[in-house]
Amino acid sequence: MKRFIVSGRRALSARASPLPHRPFATAAQPDESLASLLPKMPPFDYSPPPYTGPSAAEVLQKRQRYLSPAIFHFFKNPLNLVDGKMQYLFDENGRRYLDAFGGIATVCCGHCHPEVVEAIVNQTKRLQHSTVLYLNHTVADFAEALASKMPGDLKVVYFTNSGTEANELALLMARLYTGCHDVISIRNGYHGNAAATMNATAQSNYKFNVVQAGIHHSLNPDQYRGLFGSDGPKYARDVDEIITYGTTGCVAAFIAEAIQGVGGIMELAPGYLPAVYSSIRRAGGLCIADEVQSGFGRTGSHFWGFEAHGVVPDIVTMAKGIGNGIPLGAVVTTPDIAKVLTNRTYFNTFGGNPVCTAGGLAVLKVLEKEKLQQNALTVGSYLKERLVSLMEKHEIIGDVRGRGLMLGVELVTDRKAKTPAKVEIAHLMEQMKEMGVLIGKGGFFGNVFRITPPLCFTKDDADFLVDVMDYNMSKL
């Protein structure tokens, strides 16, 4: 069902967009009758201050000259984003965009949430840097609050600067604790950009060719393309075979995301994690849950992604949304496992500094105060229903998956053959950007829309997103 609303509560207000909203990339503007049928962005009571900095062209020129050539961007003409407020972003001309992707990148509570900003600014005015060498209540308070969100005996927190650091530390701890070296990860998973985490990231091996001994990649429990469909225990047998035939029988750890983010919002098949955790623990290994993308209430039904599978890990890693955009990550484990680092010297200069932990504590308070986990469940369920209904209209949609506000839409040119629609998704992203929607993509073939907005996303935002997607798919 189309939901193209011309006026009313979803009409674009003058305050919401100080410059004309141009839905097409073409020079010619549509006539008024056509424009009236276009999806309208929900009103928003905020206008950014005028921008007086360098233009997008100037920034791009500097970027190409001075920054790493490995840095990429989604669009042919990358946006120069200069302002953000909650679920919206603004470019150099003051044009507003609905951010349907940045939530997974960094933002949990919304861009520039006033209470998070205030906590960071106030702490910066008092003290910027002081970690484990001295006492500071901000660091301890956040660790206590974070531990209170954990099940079982997961009570000891190590702070880092990123998810990559957190996963590197988790793998180190597991190897030291078990005395074993072998690590098993899932094909198509993603765990970071350092040596050990790159190697544990099976999806990226062919790109980076980082080779480390003792890393094994197990069959991906892919419910859409996988050999065994949604039968998790059948996929888990591959882990048993790796333990039996690929290792000495001594395993340090198994690491996995509950929902693969970069891998295309792929939720692991039911029954997989319980079966694998059992096998790993029989082999003397530890189970690591990578919650960098699926944690902090994003799935709606649970605070942590692993909880939906009925398991309790030995180590949990987290980052991104934990600090709402500031460099912050964490590893949480049991007191028994944590003792292993007392036999070594582990120190992180900036991990757990007062400024970042003040921001992290503010994020937890906002999540609870504004009931954002419940909002992720309510709005995410509504959004998923609308996306599923879109499948009936557009053959290009092969699968809609995920939970809460962590959703994926896989595009294919042939539903039966599941042929990846790689060219089409790039075109659609460009067109959706021109109409004011920023969306991500991922998956092994790069053909999956990643919909992971800030948790303050509303049903009106969901309608606008789906209507824009529907409109541009119709034009295909």
Residue-level pLDDT at 347: 79
Average pLDDT of the chain, as a whole number = 88
The CA distance from 239 to 403, in Å, is: 26
For 287-320, write each residue's pLDDT tens digit.
Answer: 999 999 999 999 999 999 999 999 999 999 999 9
Find tokens 């757990």 and name the residue.
Answer: 352
Confidence of residue 9 (pLDDT cuts 50, 70, 90): very low
Residues 180, 72: one domain? no
Nearest to 264 by CA among 101, 104, 443: 443
The answer to whether residue 107 is domain-embedded is no
The answer to whether residue 5 is domain-embedded is no
The answer to whether residue 195 is domain-embedded is yes
Residue-level pLDDT at 15: 32
Mean pLDDT along residues 148-165? 95
Confidence of residue 197 (pLDDT cuts 50, 70, 90): low
The answer to whether residue 37 is domain-embedded is no
Confidence of residue 68 (pLDDT cuts 50, 70, 90): confident
**Is 458 a residue whose pLDDT tops 50?**
yes
Residues 286, 397: one domain? no
Residues 318, 172: one domain? yes
Residues 150, 228: one domain? yes
Residue-level pLDDT at 51: 95
Q: Give the residue numbers spanning the domain of 390.
A: 374-440
For residue 152, the SS3 value is: coil
Which residues does residue 411 pair with via DSSP β-bridges, in sequence order?
397
Nearest to 259 by CA among 220, 305, 302, 197: 305
Per-residue b or e along 265-283, where b marks 16 or more CB atoms closer than 10 Å to that residue's CB: bbbbbbbbbebbbebbeeb
Residue-level pLDDT at 105: 65
More confident residue, 208 or 159: 159
DSSP 279: H
Residues 223, 159: one domain? yes
For 219-267, write each residue's pLDDT tens digit.
Answer: 999 999 999 999 999 999 999 999 999 888 899 999 999 999 999 999 9
> What values do phi and psi take at 208, rounded to 5?
-100, -25
Residue-level pLDDT at 72: 75
The answer to whether residue 63 is domain-embedded is no
Interacting residues of 222 by C-beta distance below 8 A, sequence separation 6+:
188, 266, 269
Residues 272, 410: one domain? no
The CA distance from 218 to 52, in Å, is: 51
Where residue 290 sits, what CATH number does that domain have? Answer: 3.40.640.10
Residues 289, 162: one domain? yes
Where would I find the beta strands (DSSP E) of 179-237? Answer: 182-186, 215-218
Residue-level pLDDT at 27: 36
Least confident of 73-77, 148-152, 456-460: 73-77
Residues 181, 82: one domain? no
Residues 85 and 112 sit within 8 Å (Cβ to Cβ):
yes
Residue 9: Cβ within 10 Å count: 9
The answer to whether residue 233 is domain-embedded is yes
Residue-level pLDDT at 263: 93
For 21-65, write each residue's pLDDT tens digit.
Answer: 334 333 334 456 666 789 999 999 999 999 999 999 999 999 889
Residue-level pLDDT at 276: 98
With vertex at residue 198, the alpha carbon angle to CA 222 and CA 216, rounded to the nearest 5 degrees, is: 60
The answer to whether residue 196 is domain-embedded is yes
Which residues does residue 318 pair with via DSSP β-bridges, in sequence order?
330
Please state, for a pLDDT cut of 90, what percent of the chain lies above it. Answer: 75
The CA distance from 33 to 56, in Å, is: 32
- Please state, in angstroms and as integers, the Cα–Cα distance from residue 141 to each residue in 57, 157, 316, 349, 361, following that order: 44, 11, 19, 19, 8
Residues 199, 157: one domain? yes
Residue-level pLDDT at 200: 64
For 406-438, write each residue's pLDDT tens digit.
Answer: 999 999 999 999 999 999 999 999 999 999 999
The answer to whether residue 466 is domain-embedded is no
Residue-level pLDDT at 444: 92
Where residue 421 sits, what CATH number does that domain have? Answer: 3.90.1150.10
Residues 136, 252: one domain? yes
Residues 120, 214: one domain? yes
Structure tokens at 306: 């692993």
**Is 3 a residue whose pLDDT tops 90?**
no
Residues 288, 423: one domain? no
Phi-psi region of 352 (alpha: psi -120 to 50; beta: other; left: phi over 0): left
Query: Domain tally for the chain?
Result: 3
Residue-level pLDDT at 213: 72
Confidence of residue 360 (pLDDT cuts 50, 70, 90): very high
